[in-house]
């Protein structure tokens, strides 16, 4: 009977945590929406004008009037605010000024490309980091020094420079890979490399650090004393510990990949959120900017939940308390 | 047939001013089939229907699936297209167009007088939000279908530019049935009579066009008749010029536009890549000096600025011979263009004396001229969207050379909307704004004092703020005059006055360079607004 | 977690194999680089007497040669001169952005760390929200509103780094507040104010020096990114990011136009990181 | 107990001749060590930190480290030479012919893996047993090491087990293939005395089962129970080896004597623990009532009905301190003893008014203390000093010793003032430190020096009451002895009243006049030290006392 009580309490705790998380997520979304809404109210100029493609469009007064009415720009701000929230609640992200289509479909259609990019880059970064870390723990002091330098430099590489350098060397000079995304796999190589290398620098540093700590820890010593091989010590014990901090970093990594996508997608002419966002920023296409930001916020929240789940999977201690 | 083909291409190339004859000449019999990938550096249109808004990117792509009533040959003469012939009334107030009777839109709708009426109506409907087409039809009071093949335009006053206006892609004919759809649908897949059909459009990525197998209506100067050679055209948008060229090098794409000077020079060396240069009509690229306010309200200061700017060196260093210096307000493809090099020599000494005469005698610590406490500075907003990097560098070099004479040029690179805002606020002394329109009537739009009055959007075309009754007079009469010679004289007088008034500093024609893989044969540009047509193009693979 | 927090976290895991006392090779090199950067920021004329804006149309697009070590750009300006003179504006932008971020961070962090639960909760929520705009997004949003330009870009970068600083400072404050030596001071009968002044603030702010060092590196990269995207400094300003975006056009024909400015950005970032780690290691070993 | 096995017996599980281990360029940490252990024999190597005992143990498994230089005339495991074995060959022996038990199983078992797996590893590595068979063996092992309800425990992570259970699991893993030799490196350190006793019993049982056990420890009293023979290690050498009785009974080497003398248990109050080497054989001062300050009956500190409860992560509250009352008389020492989780530290924090009690109050010099506002309390604080277990953590890392003491003196401003320097010197003198430490930071000092600085800081404000929370538990025995003596001296010289909190009954017994035995937040028994230790009334006290490691000769 004590058992069942304990189990019930545990279940309640889980539910409570989930509820808390959900509430937190909703709060963040609401806040993001509100901030963006009021922020864009600071933009000078007549939004109706913007809808019609900026002052260059030489829009007729009739058109302006029509748009003003359609978008409710004549309403008081607070009304517009709640209207906006209402629309967002129903998943309606509004209509793009420049691209003249609904933001929801637009953003969703762009989401895929960016996600593929981000996920692949994250995976590659993990592989690179893991390889470097394990290699450096084997190779002794020199290897460690080399690894550190590689990681620091990698982590300092700006995406745009790395991207252009890769294009010049790999596509223009050597002609190995297509300089733009062709939709094919080959076209993915350079963008993914561009995003993965700097990230691998970060992950590598943190993994190697925790790998060394783990390998020097008493429990690995006792494992060795049991006759465990170096490989065993690495794969059975150390790597698991080493992956924990890196996993918890992946939430951040995802964020940085998204901002990296802004640059990479532009340079490699890949369809995606980043390029859409940049385009919208230069055109002051407010609804699209908000749309992208919201989607990214959602993705970001999901990602943090995901990494959370992942680390619980790897670290049973988290499942206990 | 073959003769005809090559012959026409030859003509096209005469205009192009750059041979497309690559090492793999002579090319064999045109072959059908294949997919051509076109990479455009222009912004991706928000709507594939050029009636809506109406900018150059739309013109580029829509020329592949939409056709106009008339076209223009390389000699600048108006030639039949969807309209076989036309006759203006003596007072020039009514025009009857006789249409081809064998053309149907790709959605099966018949092309007839009613269709034309519907198109003009669509253009003039404010909810269409047309700007270019809307302005071009400014004098069109009404359109009626006389018979199924004859349509009559009624004008509020004579318009010598009507045909030139109608030849532009922004006034192309679309299926009236399709126009009944919601604007979104029509923007996504406009339906025309052209050699290709819009199959799909993946935003931010590419438009896919497929051949129109029932195509019958090439313009009179086309290289062949019947359907196009290409099966399919992928129309991609690659804004980054370097990536665009790299893609062409790598063979990822077959044709790119907005080729940068350095890449053109590289292409010259390469056997795999050919060049096609086809300057746009209408105005040349030029710097307009705001004569509406100090310091450029004084003609001597305007001249001083022009004389102090070393444009020749800038153009030769930055365009590396890919662009020729212009001394005219109009594009060199305009037969009526007047060029006067003498007015634009680089002559710092003369500039200095002019400034002294104008009272800008002292100069301050930084070496800038000063007149009663005010520094001689020139606000120069630059649209990063409309001026290619090389052009922005030209401005930077002008800035540098004008400094030596004592001008402080304040370059302000701006995104499009901020740039328009700056102009609307009359917050500029110099500015460069390309304007593409077929025919010399562009002068009226650019230099008639009416154009100083801002449109509701705050935009106005007369950025030099030329307000000269004589010029107004000349331009208005020219726009009414249908007699060609008389018209030409009027326009050349007007241009003389504009040039001698030092309102503008011409730079070069609106650059319009295309680079293509040398196995792409038969690509030419329409002499209307110099957009490429893939109708005659085929892949020599 | 923010870029900054990650960098900080990595830095403070001071390189385990390096001896704390001895000055590592990397660090001495970084030190010299930092010195060079400072010189070229404060007195560029010493290293590059030329005029960074001086054009020479006739010698445009020259690849690196004896006359022009880094080559010339489209207007024949000497890239070496421009890169050296660009140090000033680039470092300035980086420093300004860091200052803004750090300033805001200190305010927010101290509020959260010192003013009890309610404030702490609110500030934390606020930060959480800001973190939902990863990396550049906050900056881009800011630019959408106030338009591009050096000033806005700088502020934008500063803003988007602020949450990171805030969280670190808060954490630091809280951990210091609960240390044994703060208790010991209480036991010695020290007043809250004395403890704050003598123990908490010094021990909280000292690590900020490391943070700032790391932060500048990051800020420079971000500012350069914005310039590169055409939202920051514009050509012909001799600013690394702007030079890069100018060079981008000619990447296929004149790689040196974008290579060298980029190289300097990377060098600066690496220098910042190495120095940050070094300083940190020293601070924690004495 | 048996006085060890005959030398070079064929049954020797381990023979070490002139073992030398060095790292890098510095001179070796183990400088020629020789010993052997027979099956069924337990040899204890005793030494203080840095004496090289752990390195010796590790090199017996070939785990001295990658950059270690190991050499010996002879090194035999179970009759086979293991000098210069390949790593592969070593791996075949580790766990099979020699097992290792490290201290603190919390970090010695992989926190991410169920203990069952950890134990099964050696089986997986050295036997061809199938999963099921392994599982069965693991249960047997857990049963053998006396872990209750093995079937449930195997699934648990080390973090879910108590210290004792963990240590048992670790031992189970080490003896899984019952190796002829078991090396136990500080197997009971960081365990509560009662648990420690159980583990020692287990080791003894393993020895009796015929395994040779090498016990590494810093604590003579601990090993005296189980070891047949004792080898005292100092500075890389075995300075004295022999039967436990002989080594502990009549220590020959000065280091041995120092260590024996340092054991506080059963040494009357006031007895010197640290040998004064200059007068090595000076008779230890015999404690007399007058030798300590006359304990007058004035109460300087009084705790009445103290209770303090905390919230657990899951929200439920638990009572850390439950209705605790006691008084402290001027000049006397009240020892509070208890095992981990008994609430002694919370009590200390309550007494220092770093925590506010839920109920009850603390009065100091008859004044309200816990009830008073911090503002009014601040005035009284000079009278109450504190000494902490983690002395290093109690110093601002950025301050030098001089700054720390100057601050404690309240002379921060007049840095160079002569009287300040004079006070600093006399303080250092009092705690037996040279002025050379002044410019250094605590991090650069040894544990003993740090604790002396801690005491100096406490004394600087001339307190009447000192509250010492585990002041010596992180120190080596000889250092501990010195610090305890120092405390004794300053108390006598300054007539201080002490509250001395510790888990170590030996220490508490030595220093205290009055004793309070705590468990689970309550005081089980309290009274005069002599009485409680000779005639404990509460069963818990009895149990506790029984477990205290004494020199059993």
What does the pLDDT look like over C116-130, one tens digit per residue? 788 888 888 888 888
Q: Do A252 and C134 touch (CB under 8 A)?
A: yes
Distance CA D452, CA D470 (A): 14
- Picking from D85, D75, D69, the residue whose alpha carbon sits closest to that of residue D36 is D75
Q: Between β-strands D237-243 and D333-338, what pairing exists: parallel, antiparallel or unpaired?
A: unpaired
Cα B25 to Cα A202, B224, B249, B352, B520, distances in angstroms: 55, 19, 20, 54, 12
Joined together, the tokens standing for residue D505 give: 């009954």
Q: Do D121 and A225 touch (CB under 8 A)?
A: no
Long-range contact pairs involving B313-317 (C-beta distance under 8 Å, separation at least 24): B313/B346, B313/B397, B313/B401, B313/C57, B313/C58, B314/B393, B314/B394, B314/B397, B314/B398, B314/B401, B314/C57, B314/C75, B315/B394, B315/B507, B315/B508, B316/C57, B317/B397, B317/C57, B317/C58, B317/C60, B317/C74, B317/C75, B317/C76
Long-range contact pairs involving C19-28 (C-beta distance under 8 Å, separation at least 24): C20/C281, C20/C282, C20/C284, C20/C285, C21/C285, C23/C278, C24/C278, C26/A148, C26/A149, C26/C274, C27/C274, C27/C275, C27/C278
pLDDT above 50: residue D2: no
| CATH number, domain containing residue C182 | 1.10.3720.10
pLDDT at B482: 82
Q: Do C235 and B317 touch (CB under 8 A)?
A: no
pLDDT bin (cut points 50, 70, 90) of residue B383 is confident
Cα A277 to Cα A110, B41, D383, distances in angstroms: 10, 18, 67
At residue A45, the 3 state secondary structure works out as: coil
Contacts of residue A50 in chain B, CB cutoff 8 Å?
Answer: 417
Q: Is the preceding omega at residue D133 within 30 degrees of 0, hence cis?
A: no
Domain count, chain C: 1
| Facing residue for C74 by CB, picked from B263, B316, B393 | B393
Percent of chain D with pLDDT over 70: 92
| CATH number, domain containing residue B204 | 3.40.190.10
| Facing residue for C180 by CB, picked from D379, D388, D398 | D388
Distance CA D135, CA B201 (A): 63
Q: Do A249 and C252 touch (CB under 8 A)?
A: no
pLDDT at B26: 53
Plot region of D470 (φ>0 → left; ψ -120 to 50 → alpha; else → beta): left
Q: What share of chain A is helix, strand, coil (3-state, %, to 5)?
A: 80, 0, 20
Joined together, the tokens standing for residue C83 give: 């890169």
Same domain, yes or no: B64 and B76: yes
If you measure CA to CA, which chain C residue comes closest to A279? C229
**C144 Cβ under 8 Å from any chain B Cβ:** no
Joined together, the tokens standing for residue B68 give: 């106009």
pLDDT at B176: 95
Which subunits have 3 or more CB–CB pairs within 8 Å of chain C?
Answer: A, B, D
Contacts of residue D393 in chain C, CB cutoff 8 Å?
Answer: 179-181
Min distance D506 CA to chain A CA atoms (Å) = 29
- Picking from C128, D24, D308, B67, the residue whose alpha carbon sits closest to that of residue A28 is C128
Same domain, yes or no: B249 and B231: yes
Torsion of CA B243, B249, B255, B256, to 10 degrees: 30
If you measure CA to CA, which chain C residue comes closest to B395? C236
Same domain, yes or no: B388 and B438: yes
> What domains can be seen in chain D, in order of their start residue?
10-97+181-187+198-263 (3.40.50.300), 105-178 (no CATH), 299-383+466-547 (3.40.50.300), 394-460 (no CATH)
Joined together, the tokens standing for residue A241 give: 């510990």
Q: Do D461 and C186 touch (CB under 8 A)?
A: no
Same domain, yes or no: B34 and B158: yes
Min distance C55 CA to chain B CA atoms (Å) = 7
C8 occurs within a structural domain: no
pLDDT above 80: residue C238: yes
Which subunits have 3 or more CB–CB pairs within 8 Å of chain D?
Answer: A, C
Same domain, yes or no: B495 and B520: no
Bigger pLDDT: B140 vs C4: B140
Q: Do A171 and B250 touch (CB under 8 A)?
A: yes
Query: How many residues in total does chain B contain?
Result: 541
Instruction: Look up the ipTM and state it.
Output: 0.81
Taking all residues of chain B, what is their mean pLDDT, rounded to a whole number? Answer: 88
CB neighbourhood size of C273 (10 A): 26
C15 occurs within a structural domain: no
Domain count, chain B: 2
**B270 Cβ under 8 Å from any chain C Cβ:** no
pLDDT at D49: 83
pLDDT string in tens for chain A (321-residue length) = 456 776 777 778 778 877 887 888 888 888 888 887 787 777 766 777 766 655 555 566 766 777 777 777 778 888 888 888 888 888 788 877 777 678 888 888 888 889 999 999 999 999 999 998 888 877 777 888 888 889 889 988 999 899 989 988 888 788 888 877 766 788 889 999 999 999 999 888 888 888 888 888 889 999 999 988 888 888 888 888 888 888 888 888 888 888 889 889 988 888 889 888 888 887 777 788 888 888 888 888 888 888 888 888 888 888 775
pLDDT above 90: residue D15: yes
pLDDT at B501: 93
pLDDT bin (cut points 50, 70, 90) of residue D276 is low
Percent of chain B with pLDDT over 90: 58
DSSP at B465: -
Joined together, the tokens standing for residue B504 give: 């503008």
pLDDT bin (cut points 50, 70, 90) of residue C14 is very low
| Residue in the structure block whose two tokens are 């401003």 | D413
* Cβ(D402)–Cβ(D441) below 8 Å: no
What does the pLDDT look like over D60-102, one tens digit per residue? 998 887 778 899 999 999 888 988 888 889 999 999 999 999 8
Q: Do D407 and C198 touch (CB under 8 A)?
A: yes
| Facing residue for C60 by CB, picked from B242, B245, B317 | B317
Joined together, the tokens standing for residue C222 give: 């971000």
Contacts of residue C254 in chain A, CB cutoff 8 Å?
Answer: none
Bigger pLDDT: D414 vs A145: A145
Cα angle A264-A267-A272, degrees, rounded to a multiple of 5? 55
pLDDT above 70: residue C284: no
**C207 Cβ under 8 Å from any chain A Cβ:** no
pLDDT bin (cut points 50, 70, 90) of residue B194 is very high
| Facing residue for B243 by CB, picked from A50, A63, A179 | A179
Contacts of residue A144 in chain C, CB cutoff 8 Å?
Answer: 17
Q: Do A225 and D108 touch (CB under 8 A)?
A: no
C85 occurs within a structural domain: yes
| CATH number, domain containing residue B491 | 3.10.105.10
Bigger pLDDT: D78 vs C57: D78
Same domain, yes or no: B352 and B485: yes
| Facing residue for D396 by CB, picked from C191, C199, C285 | C199
DSSP at A250: H
> Residues C59-85: what's their mean pLDDT?
88
Contacts of residue B457 in chain A, CB cutoff 8 Å?
Answer: 49, 52, 55-59, 64
| Facing residue for B456 by CB, picked from A45, A61, A98 | A61
Which subunits have 3 or more CB–CB pairs within 8 Å of chain B?
Answer: A, C
- Residues within 8 A of A (CB atoms), D 32-71 only: 61, 63, 66
**C145 Cβ under 8 Å from any chain D Cβ:** no
Min distance A225 CA to chain D CA atoms (Å) = 5
pLDDT at B102: 93
CB neighbourhood size of D410 (10 A): 15
Contacts of C27 (CB under 8 A, 6+ apart): C274, C275, C278
Min distance B421 CA to chain A CA atoms (Å) = 7
Q: Do D109 and A227 touch (CB under 8 A)?
A: no
- Residues within 8 A of D (CB atoms), C 222-251 only: none
If you measure CA to CA, which chain B residue comes closest to C62? B317
Distance CA B190, CA C183 (A): 77
Contacts of C217 (CB under 8 A, 6+ apart): A156, C7, C94, C268, C269, C270, C271, C272, C273, C276
If you measure CA to CA, which chain C residue comes closest to A152? C270
Same domain, yes or no: B217 and B326: no
What is the spatial order of strands in the sheet that B369-371 belongs to?
B362-363, B369-371, B374-375
Cα angle B349-B355-B359, degrees, rounded to a multiple of 5? 145
> What domains can be seen in chain A, in order of their start residue?
25-89 (no CATH), 103-320 (1.10.3720.10)
Longest dimension (CA), chain A: 85
At residue C189, the 3 state secondary structure works out as: coil
Same domain, yes or no: B457 and B316: yes
Q: Which of B396, B401, B404, B419 to mutate against chain C (most C CBs within 10 Å)? A: B396
Our answer on whether D and B touch (3+ beta-carbon pairs < 8 Å) is no
C226 occurs within a structural domain: yes
Same domain, yes or no: B252 and B289: no
pLDDT bin (cut points 50, 70, 90) of residue D282 is very low
Q: Which of D375, D377, D393, D397 to mutate against chain C (most C CBs within 10 Å)? A: D397
Q: Do A217 and D107 touch (CB under 8 A)?
A: yes
Q: Do C144 and A40 touch (CB under 8 A)?
A: yes
| Facing residue for C229 by CB, picked from A29, A32, A263 | A263
If you measure CA to CA, which chain D residue comes closest to C198? D396
Query: How many residues in total does chain A contain?
Result: 321
pLDDT above 70: residue B382: yes
Contacts of residue A256 in chain C, CB cutoff 8 Å?
Answer: 3, 134-135
What is the spatial order of strands in the sheet that B196-202 belongs to?
B196-202, B206-211, B232-237, B35-40, B255-256, B513-517, B273-277
* Cβ(D103)–Cβ(D187) below 8 Å: yes
Q: What range defines the domain where residue B168 resides?
A: 2-278+512-539
A-D CB pairs within 8 A amount to 85
**C255 Cβ under 8 Å from any chain B Cβ:** no
Q: Which of D121, D152, D161 to mutate against chain A (most A CBs within 10 Å)? A: D121
Joined together, the tokens standing for residue A6 give: 């304990």
pLDDT at B261: 87
Q: What range defines the domain where residue C225 resides?
A: 39-284
Out of A285-289, B111-115, C170-174, D73-77, pick the least confident: A285-289
Percent of chain B with pLDDT over 70: 94
Distance CA D517, CA D326 (A): 11
* CA dihedral for A242, A244, A250, A253, sign (positive or negative): negative
- Residues within 8 A of C (CB atoms), B 188-227 only: none
What does the pLDDT look like over B254-311, one tens digit per residue? 999 988 888 898 888 888 899 999 888 888 899 999 999 989 999 999 999 999 999 9
If you measure CA to CA, which chain A residue comes closest to C249? A164
Contacts of residue A149 in chain C, CB cutoff 8 Å?
Answer: 26
**C56 Cβ under 8 Å from any chain A Cβ:** no
> Residues D200-213: what's their mean pLDDT?
92
Q: CA neighbours within 13 Å on the CB side: how many for C74? A: 33
């Amino acid at each position: 009977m004590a058992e069942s009580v304990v189990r019930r309490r545990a279940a309640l705790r889980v539910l409570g945590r989930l509820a808390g998380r959900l509430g937190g997520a909703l709060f963040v979304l609401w806040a993001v929406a509100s901030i963006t809404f009021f922020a864009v109210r600071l933009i000078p100029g007549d939004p109706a004008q913007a809808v019609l493609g900026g002052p260059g469009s030489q829009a007729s007064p009739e058109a302006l009037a029509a748009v003003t009415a359609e978008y409710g720009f004549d309403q008081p701000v607070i009304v517009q605010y709640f209207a906006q929230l209402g629309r967002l609640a129903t998943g309606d992200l509004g209509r793009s000024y420049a691209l003249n289509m609904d933001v929801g479909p637009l953003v969703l259609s762009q989401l895929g490309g960016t996600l593929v990019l981000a996920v692949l880059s994250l995976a590659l970064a993990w592989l690179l980091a893991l390889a470097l870390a394990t290699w450096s723990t084997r190779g002794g002091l020199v290897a460690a020094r080399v690894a550190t330098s590689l990681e620091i430099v990698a982590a300092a590489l700006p995406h745009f420079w790395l991207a252009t350098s890769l294009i010049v060397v790999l596509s223009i000079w050597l002609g190995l890979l297509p300089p733009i995304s062709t939709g094919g796999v080959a076209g993915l190589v350079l963008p993914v490399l561009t995003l993965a290398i700097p990230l691998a620098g970060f992950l590598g540093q943190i993994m190697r650090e925790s790998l060394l700590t783990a390998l020097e820890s008493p429990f690995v010593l006792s494992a060795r004393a049991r006759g465990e091989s170096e490989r065993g010590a690495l794969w059975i014990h150390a790597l698991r510990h080493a992956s924990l901090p890196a996993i918890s970093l992946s939430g951040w990594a995802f964020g940085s990949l998204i901002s990296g996508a802004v640059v990479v997608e532009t340079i490699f002419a890949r369809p995606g959120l980043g390029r859409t966002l940049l385009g919208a920023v230069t055109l002051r296409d407010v609804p699209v900017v908000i749309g992208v930001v919201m989607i990214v916020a959602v993705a970001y929240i999901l990602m943090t939940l995901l990494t959370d789940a992942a680390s619980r999977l790897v670290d049973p201690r988290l499942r206990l308390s | 047939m073959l003769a005809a083909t090559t012959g026409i291409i030859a003509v096209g190339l005469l205009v192009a001013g750059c041979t497309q004859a690559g090492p793999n000449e002579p090319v064999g019999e045109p072959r059908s089939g294949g997919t051509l990938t076109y990479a455009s550096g222009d912004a991706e249109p928000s709507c594939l229907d050029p009636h809506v808004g109406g900018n150059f990117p739309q013109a580029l792509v829509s020329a592949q699936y939409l056709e106009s009533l008339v076209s223009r040959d390389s000699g600048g003469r108006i030639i039949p297209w969807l309209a076989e012939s036309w006759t203006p009334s003596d007072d020039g107030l009514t025009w009857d167009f006789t249409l081809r009777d064998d053309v149907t839109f790709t959605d099966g709708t018949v092309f007839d007088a009613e269709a034309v009426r519907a198109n003009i109506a669509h253009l003039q409907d404010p909810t269409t939000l047309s700007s270019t087409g809307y302005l071009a039809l400014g004098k069109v009071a009404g359109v009626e279908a006389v018979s199924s093949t004859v349509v009559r335009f009624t004008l509020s006053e004579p318009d010598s530019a009507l045909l030139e206006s109608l030849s532009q892609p922004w006034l192309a004919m679309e299926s009236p049935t399709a126009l009944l759809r919601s604007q979104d649908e029509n923007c996504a897949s406009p339906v025309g009579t052209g050699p290709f059909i819009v199959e799909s459009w993946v935003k931010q990525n590419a438009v896919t066009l497929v051949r129109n197998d029932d195509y019958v209506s090439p313009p009179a100067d086309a290289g062949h008749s019947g359907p196009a050679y290409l099966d399919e055209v992928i129309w991609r948008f690659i804004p980054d010029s370097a990536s665009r060229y790299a893609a062409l090098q790598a063979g990822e794409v077959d044709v790119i536009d907005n080729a940068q000077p350095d890449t053109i020079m590289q292409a010259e060396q390469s056997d795999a890549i050919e060049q096609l240069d086809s300057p746009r009509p209408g105005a040349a690229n030029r710097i307009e000096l705001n004569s509406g306010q100090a310091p450029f309200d004084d003609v001597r200061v305007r001249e001083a600025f022009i004389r102090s700017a070393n444009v020749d060196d800038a153009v030769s260093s930055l365009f590396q011979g890919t662009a020729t210096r212009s001394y005219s307000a109009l594009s060199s493809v305009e037969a009526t263009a007047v060029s006067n090099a003498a007015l634009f020599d680089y002559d710092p000494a003369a500039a200095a004396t002019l400034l002294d005469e104008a009272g800008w005698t002292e100069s301050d610590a930084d070496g800038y001229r000063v007149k009663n406490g005010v520094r001689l500075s020139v606000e120069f907003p630059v649209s990063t969207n409309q001026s290619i990097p090389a052009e922005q560098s030209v401005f930077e070099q002008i800035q540098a050379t004008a400094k030596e004479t004592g001008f402080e040029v304040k370059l302000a690179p701006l995104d499009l909307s901020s740039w328009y805002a700056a102009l609307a606020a009359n917050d500029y002394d110099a500015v460069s704004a390309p304007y593409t329109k077929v025919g010399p009537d562009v002068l009226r739009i650019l230099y008639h004092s009416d154009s100083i009055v801002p449109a509701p959007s705050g935009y106005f075309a007369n950025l030099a703020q030329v307000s000269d009754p004589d010029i107004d007079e000349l331009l208005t009469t020219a726009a009414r005059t249908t007699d060609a010679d008389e018209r030409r004289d009027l326009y050349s007088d007007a241009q003389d006055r504009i040039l001698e008034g030092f309102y503008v500093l011409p730079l070069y024609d609106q650059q319009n360079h295309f680079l293509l893989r040398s196995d792409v044969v038969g690509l030419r540009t329409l002499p209307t607004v110099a957009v490429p047509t893939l109708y005659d193009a085929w892949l020599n693979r | 977690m923010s870029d900054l927090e990650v960098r900080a976290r990595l830095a403070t895991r001071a390189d385990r194999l390096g001896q704390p006392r001895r000055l590592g090779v990397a660090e001495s090199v970084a030190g010299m680089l930092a010195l060079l950067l400072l010189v070229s920021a404060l007195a560029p004329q010493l290293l590059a007497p030329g005029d960074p804006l001086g054009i020479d149309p006739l010698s445009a697009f020259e690849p690196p040669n004896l006359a022009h070590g880094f080559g010339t750009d489209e207007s024949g300006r000497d890239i070496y001169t421009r890169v050296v003179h660009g140090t000033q504006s680039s470092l300035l932008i980086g420093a300004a952005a860091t200052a803004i971020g750090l300033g805001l961070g200190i305010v927010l962090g101290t509020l959260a760390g010192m003013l009890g639960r309610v404030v702490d909760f609110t500030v934390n929520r606020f930060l959480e929200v800001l973190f939902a705009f990863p990396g550049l997004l906050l900056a881009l949003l800011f630019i959408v509103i106030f338009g591009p330009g050096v000033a806005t870009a700088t502020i934008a970068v500063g803003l988007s780094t602020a949450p990171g600083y805030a969280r670190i400072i808060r954490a630091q404050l809280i951990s210091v507040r609960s240390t044994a030596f703060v208790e010991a001071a209480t036991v010695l009968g020290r007043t809250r104010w004395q403890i704050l002044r003598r123990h908490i603030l010094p021990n909280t702010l000292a690590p900020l020096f490391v943070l700032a060092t790391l932060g500048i590196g990051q800020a420079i990269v971000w500012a350069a990114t914005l310039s590169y995207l055409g939202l920051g400094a514009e050509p012909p300003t001799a600013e690394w990011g702007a030079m890069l975006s100018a060079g981008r056009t000619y990447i296929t024909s004149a790689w040196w136009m974008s290579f060298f400015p980029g190289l300097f950005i990377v060098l600066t970032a690496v220098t910042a990181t190495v120095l940050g780690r070094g300083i940190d290691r020293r601070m924690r070993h004495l | 107990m048996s006085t060890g096995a005959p030398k070079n017996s064929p049954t020797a599980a381990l023979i070490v001749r002139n073992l030398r281990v060095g790292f890098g360029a510095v001179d070796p940490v183990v400088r020629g060590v020789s010993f052997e252990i027979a099956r069924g024999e337990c040899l204890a190597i005793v030494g203080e930190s840095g004496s090289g005992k752990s390195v010796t143990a590790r090199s017996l498994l070939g785990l001295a480290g990658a950059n270690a230089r190991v050499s010996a005339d002879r090194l035999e495991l179970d009759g086979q030479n293991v000098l210069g074995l390949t790593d592969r060959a070593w791996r075949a022996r580790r766990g099979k012919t020699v097992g290792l038990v490290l201290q603190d199983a919390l970090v010695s078992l992989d926190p991410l893996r169920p203990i069952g797996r950890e134990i099964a590893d050696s089986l997986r590595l050295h036997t061809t047993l199938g999963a099921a068979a392994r599982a069965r063996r693991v249960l047997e092992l857990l049963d053998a090491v006396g872990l209750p309800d093995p079937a449930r425990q195997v699934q648990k992570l080390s973090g879910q087990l108590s210290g004792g259970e963990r240590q048992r699991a670790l031992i189970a893993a080490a003896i899984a293939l019952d190796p002829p030799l078991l090396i136990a490196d500080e197997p009971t350190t960081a365990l509560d005395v009662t648990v420690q006793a159980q583990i020692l019993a287990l080791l003894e049982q393993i020895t009796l089962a015929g395994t040779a056990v090498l016990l590494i420890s810093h604590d003579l009293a601990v090993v005296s129970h189980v070891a047949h023979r004792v080898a005292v290690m100092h500075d890389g050498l075995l300075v004295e080896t022999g039967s436990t009785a002989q080594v502990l009974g009549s220590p020959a080497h000065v280091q041995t004597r120092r260590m024996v003398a340092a054991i506080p248990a059963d040494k009357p109050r006031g007895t010197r623990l640290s040998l004064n080497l200059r007068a090595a054989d000076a008779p230890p001062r015999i404690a007399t009532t007058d030798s300590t300050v006359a304990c007058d009956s004035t109460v300087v500190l009084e705790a009445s009905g103290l209770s303090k409860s905390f919230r657990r992560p899951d929200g439920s509250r638990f009572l850390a301190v439950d209705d605790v009352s006691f008084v402290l008389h001027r000049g006397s020492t009240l020892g509070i003893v208890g095992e981990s989780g008994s609430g002694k530290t919370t009590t200390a924090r309550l007494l220092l008014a770093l925590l506010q009690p839920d109920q009850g109050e603390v009065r100091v010099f008859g004044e309200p203390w816990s009830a008073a506002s911090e503002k009014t309390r601040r005035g009284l604080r000079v009278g109450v000093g504190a000494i902490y277990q983690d002395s290093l953590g109690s110093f601002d890392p950025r301050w030098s010793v001089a700054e720390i003491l100057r601050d404690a003196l309240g002379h921060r401003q007049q840095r160079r003032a002569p009287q300040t320097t004079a006070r600093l010197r006399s303080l250092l003198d009092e705690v037996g430190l040279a002025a050379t430490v002044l410019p250094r930071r605590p991090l650069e000092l040894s544990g003993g020096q740090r604790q002396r600085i801690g005491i100096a800081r406490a004394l600087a404000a001339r307190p009447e009451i000192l509250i010492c929370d585990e002041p010596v538990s992180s120190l080596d025995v000889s250092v501990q002895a010195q610090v305890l003596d120092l405390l004794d001296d300053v108390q006598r010289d300054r007539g201080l009243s002490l509250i001395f909190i510790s888990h170590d009954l030996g220490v508490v017994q030595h220093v205290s006049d009055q004793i309070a035995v705590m468990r689970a937040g309550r005081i089980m028994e309290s009274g005069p030290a002599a009485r409680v230790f000779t005639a404990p009334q509460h069963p818990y006290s009895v149990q506790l006392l029984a477990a205290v490691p004494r020199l059993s000769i």
